[in-house]
Structure 1
Amino acid sequence: MHPSLVVGFAVAIIAYLALQFLLHGTQSKREPCILETTVPFFDSAIGILRHRANYLSNLRSKYRMSIYTLRMPFQRLYVVHAPNLIQTIQSKANAATFIPNLLDFGMLFSGLNEQSQRTLRDAFGVQGNGFTMSVHKYLLSGPSLKAATRAAVDRLSASVPNHFEDDRQGGLLELVRHELTLALTGAIYGPENPYDDPDVEASWRDFLPGISHLLYSPCPSVTARKALNARTRVIHAFRKYFQTGGHLQAFPMIAEMYETNKSHGLALDEAAKMEMATSLAMLSSGAVTTFWLLFHILSDPDVMMATREELHAVAKLESTSDNSVPRTKVLDLSGIKGKCPTLVAMLNETLRYHSTVINIKQVQHDTTLGDQYLLKKNGIVMIPGESVHHNVDIWGPSADTFDHHRFLSPDSKKKLSTTSAFRPFGAGATMCPGRHFSTSVILSLVAMVVLQYEVLPLQGQWIAPTKRNADLWNAMPKPDWDIDVRLSKMRVEENPVEWRFAWGEDAVKNLF
């Protein structure tokens, strides 16, 4: 063997042994055990790059452990699967010990400079997370939530007939993603919505693959150049949006967040970057959730028939002074959550079965969890929602299968109220405050599609895509491929109808 190869091999062995010694020498015996490692400190990063959203679920299936430690350079990750430990972490008694840690993630992918990052850390440390507080204030409940939802539904109602043309062909995910992008952002950003520009919408889609590189790549400027250039274009659009006063015509939450960021000391350019976080909160999961929900409804004729019947039962026939044909039916979409049990059950099962949300918290001081496990200060606690959603002790032997009827049973409905069993929106302080807004708009779009169109797969049968390449950071796993479909307008020979959609009784009354 060549001497240089011998030296290289010896150096590699020494480095490996040194890393193993450092790994185990800095790990307390009281901490959750370390999983077996091939490349000390780098196994987790390699595993995430290889298996992406499936990484933690693969570890859960392989080791069947309640809690364990993953070590990365300069960071401890405590992955918790057991419901009893999750409850302990989320208890009010531990609210000051386990603190939500989403700020660093948001600042990272938004591209804030170091000065702005320090400014926000200081401001949020004293005054709280302004973004989360604003979303709670405007989108959690009340008249402002109703106004935002109505605006999004109005946009969908006007847009769907134009884009979902008779005999239209295209990818199901792509079709719903475009509609939801314009409806959600239009309702929030108002008439000057940057995403109304097709180039900005396309740039946002080009940016999304770069998030994983920003999280895991040692050199994202090289590995994600296209995505970072796309981010620059989106930020430039928001800079122009604020410069021209577009936020002053928007949903009041946007103007408030902008003024809050300025009061913290952010320049206009840096405040524009923060809209990447707002956009991600709106757009990261909604279209994917809609795709999976439609797939499960459209691929089961019995479920689709039951869903249509429920929607027809809620709709009202518009009164007219003549016997004109076609007749017009009006559907108040604000009532479907309470009056369409099959549709709502399908949404909940879609969220339970597919969600890969991970609740992330930082340990504020050395603490003992469950009187057994030492969690060290600044360690990161990761709670994979999938561990709860696929737990047979909670959901029975069918936990790993999609059950169309699961949430029609009283027992399963009770589980919706506890984050120890159902947590697609996270839990505690990090529970998504915009969940009511997003799910209402998702259900509205699904109702419009189911009532007005026959949707058939071009390949002849519905085949569920795999999710092997889904991103770990996203709460809903994107399918590995889209499903090409053909849309056909519903044709009813007897008593044909046209549809109008509205949100809220007041809006319905205005149509008559």
Structure 2
Amino acid sequence: MASTLAIVAGAIVALLYVFLRLLLYCTQDAREPPAIETGWPFIGPLVGMLREKSRLHFRLRKQYRLPIYTLRMPFQRIYVVNSPSLIPELEKQWRAVSFAAIAADAGHVVGMSKEAQEIMHRDLMSEHSFSLEPIRSKGRPVKVGLYGMLRKLMEISGTEAIWGPQNPYRDSAISDAWRTFENGFLFFSMFPFATALFPKFYQARELVAAAMMGFVRNRGFETASGLVRKRYEHHSKLFGLGTEDIARGEIGNTFAVLGNIAPCAWWVIFHLVSDARVLSEVREELLAAAHEDESGCHLDIASLRERCPVLLSTFQETLRYRAVNPGPRVILDDVALSNGILLKKGSMLMIPARVHHTDTTAWGEDAGKFDHLRFTRKPTATGQKKYNRVAFRAFGGGDALCPGRHLASNEIMALAALIVLQFVVVPVGGKWPEPTFEKSPPTGFPIPDKDIQAELHPRDPNKKWNFTFSGAEEAIGFISEDAMAGARRPVIAS
């Protein structure tokens, strides 16, 4: 009996394999980027993505060495771009290679109504302060979970700046619920009936949604940031969305406010405090940038870009070395590239940051190493190569370029300055472990699996520090778009 069942099962598996091979053969156009990982068609890439996450694209780049390839998933094609040379051409076709469709699809994840989701999908191809003082003032070492502390600081500063006096995330129950839902975001994106299959994540989402509905009903947007006010006007007056859909849209916008900035800040601080050389060089230039008088020590955060090149370079290198955002787009219409490759309508396209940030043609043979001085070096006659701005994908690019990149940059470098100048950070146990992030949710920067316990020793509790921000007339030139904008006109970094 057992042998009969084994024979039947084997026959079913063989038939399934033959069917999938035929399906792949009949549906893969020869003009498309070559399909890889087809040992088990459709199933192999899905298993690899679930198991390896962002490491998958890194492995496939190394294994196949293709400028662009296709992953055939169940009911979906994904084109993955390895070569930086293809990026400018793709970004010029922003109507057909669309990030707006990704944002519109997120409406389903946060529970927006079918009517609101339909509105968001219309015409997608048209144009239509940080407080560390309580710790420092104790005058003695304080033990903290480093990631937990940094996340809380960034969460408070970010949400207060965006949502103002009626900020729903002031309630710790709401901020905790947001963290829970953030961990389950991928499940809502991938699985049908996710609300029934993952009740913990669903309940967390609905708790945040209820708080956001209260915020909108109480007209909290009127005392919030200009961004929230304009967003309310756009959603309600131009497109007629109701209170619930506007509120759920704000849940989606929380990903932009909190999803990346906290883990990014964590990695910046980790690279600063875990390397004695980096810490010494950054602290030295920060002290040189500050001035002292009878009222205390003063530092203008706006001066960091010009007067602290090592800090700026360390920040940029952290973005390059640690970013894992997949850079997703949806192909809304067939796209024929100049090299003859066809990208089919309805497919997804990815420009993975990790792949492009380790491209030796863009960054040199040491692209796989962390070099805190990488962005301080200039091209020389002896062969020093200028890095390829197009290959810098931490903030996306093209029409999907992160509009808050300058605010986030100033915020994170300000936090770094506050910590480096006011504290000595020592790991409990004496050594800094290399963090793992196998369980990280799909954020642009990986979240550590386990927090690192550290002691914060105040450097001089009696010294008064005053931090100001006088503003800036030019943006930090991270990427090709910033360089072009700077050549045309000054850009305000707020």
Is the shorter-chain TM-score for this pair beyond 0.5, marking a shared fold?
A: yes
Aligned to 2:97: 98
**Which residue, 296, 302, 309 being the options, matches 1:341?**
309
Q: Deviations over 1:404-426 (max 9, x none)?
A: 2211201399957x542322101
**Which residue, 270, 295, 299 being the options, matches 1:331?**
299
> CA separation in 2, counterparts of 1:505 and 1:285?
23
Q: Deviations over 1:246-281 (max 9, x none)?
A: 111111221221122123122101110001121100
Cα 1:237–1:123, aligned 2, differ >3 Å: closer, same or farther?
farther
Cα 1:423–1:36, aligned 2, differ >3 Å: closer, same or farther?
closer
> CA separation in 2, counterparts of 1:67 and 1:409?
31
Matched to 1:297, the amino acid is L
Preserved contact between residue 207 and residue 230 of structure 1 (Cα < 8 Å): yes
The alignment partner of 1:302 has SS state of helix
> CA separation in 2, counterparts of 1:420 and 1:410?
17
Alpha-carbon distance, 1:179 to partner:
0.4
Matched to 1:435, the amino acid is R
Aligned to 2:112: 112
> CA separation in 2, counterparts of 1:460 and 1:223?
43
Q: Deviations over 1:162-191 (max 9, x none)?
A: 256642212211110000001011011111
Q: Deviations over 1:348-388 (max 9, x none)?
A: 00001111122222334333324232222222221112222
Match status 1:314 vs 2:278: no
Preserved contact between residue 105 and residue 117 of structure 2 (Cα < 8 Å): no
Aligned to 2:467: 501
Match status 1:57 vs 2:27: no
Aligned to 2:436: 466
Match status 1:426 vs 2:392: no
Cα 1:24–1:232, aligned 2, differ >3 Å: closer, same or farther?
same
| Number of residue pairs matched by the alignment | 464
Q: TM-score, normalised by structure 1?
A: 0.85
Match status 1:204 vs 2:183: no
The alignment partner of 1:19 has SS state of helix
Q: Deviations over 1:436-478 (max 9, x none)?
A: 011111111111111111111102111211233334x421122
Bigger mean CA offset, 418-427 vs 479-488:
418-427
Alpha-carbon distance, 1:223 to partner:
4.6
Preserved contact between residue 212 and residue 251 of structure 2 (Cα < 8 Å): no
Alpha-carbon distance, 1:486 to partner:
0.8
Q: TM-score, normalised by structure 2?
A: 0.88
Match status 1:479 vs 2:448: yes
Q: Deviations over 1:184-235 (max 9, x none)?
A: 1101111111111111111111111101211233442355321221111111
Gaps of 5+ in 1: 129-152, 321-327, 507-512
Aligned to 2:249: 274
Match status 1:408 vs 2:376: yes
Cα 1:108–1:46, aligned 2, differ >3 Å: closer, same or farther?
farther
> CA separation in 2, counterparts of 1:96 and 1:206?
34
Q: Deviations over 1:20-63 (max 9, x none)?
A: 11111111122111113243223222212111221211221222
Matched to 2:107, the amino acid is M
Match status 1:292 vs 2:258: no
> CA separation in 2, counterparts of 1:414 and 1:183?
38
Match status 1:255 vs 2:223: no
Matched to 1:78, the amino acid is Y
Preserved contact between residue 70 and residue 77 of structure 1 (Cα < 8 Å): yes
1:355-394 alignment runs, 5 A limit: 355-394=323-362
Bigger mean CA offset, 361-370 vs 436-445:
361-370
Matched to 1:389, the amino acid is H
Aligned to 1:131: none
The alignment partner of 1:208 has SS state of helix
Aligned to 1:181: 155
> CA separation in 2, counterparts of 1:187 and 1:268?
22
Preserved contact between residue 177 and residue 207 of structure 2 (Cα < 8 Å): yes
> CA separation in 2, counterparts of 1:389 and 1:334?
27
The alignment partner of 1:33 has SS state of coil
**Which residue, 143, 157, 161 being the options, matches 2:133?**
161
Aligned to 1:228: 202
Cα 1:120–1:368, aligned 2, differ >3 Å: closer, same or farther?
closer
Alpha-carbon distance, 1:126 to partner:
5.7
Preserved contact between residue 78 and residue 382 of structure 1 (Cα < 8 Å): yes
Alpha-carbon distance, 1:124 to partner:
5.5
Cα 1:479–1:29, aligned 2, differ >3 Å: closer, same or farther?
same
Gaps of 5+ in 2: 473-494
> CA separation in 1, counterparts of 2:98 and 2:84?
19
* Aligned-CA RMSD value: 2.3
Query: Identity rate of aligned residues, in percent?
Result: 32
Alpha-carbon distance, 1:242 to partner:
1.3
